[in-house]
Amino acid sequence: MQTVTQSSVLAQCGFAFSDPTRARVLLALRDAAAYPSELADLIGVSRQSLSNHLACLRGCGLVVAVPEGRRMRYELADSRLGEALTNLLGVVLAVDPAQCTDSAGAGCC
């Protein structure tokens, strides 16, 4: 396991947020811990797809799996992530798609 700080944390979060399903998982876990089957039903994805996204989020250090008997319950790795998500949702952005491109010229918005 590796501990990351500053820009690496932002890059990990950016990668996690870049996928709509992962973003919805994080938002769901902001409200309460949940079991994978509950998350899959809530978000409307297959359990296999959700499993892959949860593995990614665990690898990024954003969620943790807590064993409960034979089941695993997922929650945000740090309660401050929930606060950060709430704060991000309050941000209003003025997006100019013509100017929002990556180094290869692909649209990033």
SS3 88: helix
- Considering the entire predicted model, what is its pTM? 0.79
Domains belonging to the chain, first-starting first, are 7-89 (1.10.10.10)
Q: What is the 3-state secondary structure (H, E, C) of 17-86?
A: HCCHHHHHHHHHHHHCCECHHHHHHHHCCCHHHHHHHHHHHHHCCCEEEEEECCEEEEEECCHHHHHHHH
User: Tens digits of per-residue pLDDT, 3-55?
Assistant: 556 777 778 788 888 899 999 999 999 999 999 999 999 999 999 999 999 99
Cβ contact 62:16 at 8 Å: yes
User: Tens digits of per-residue pLDDT, 56-66?
Assistant: 999 888 999 99
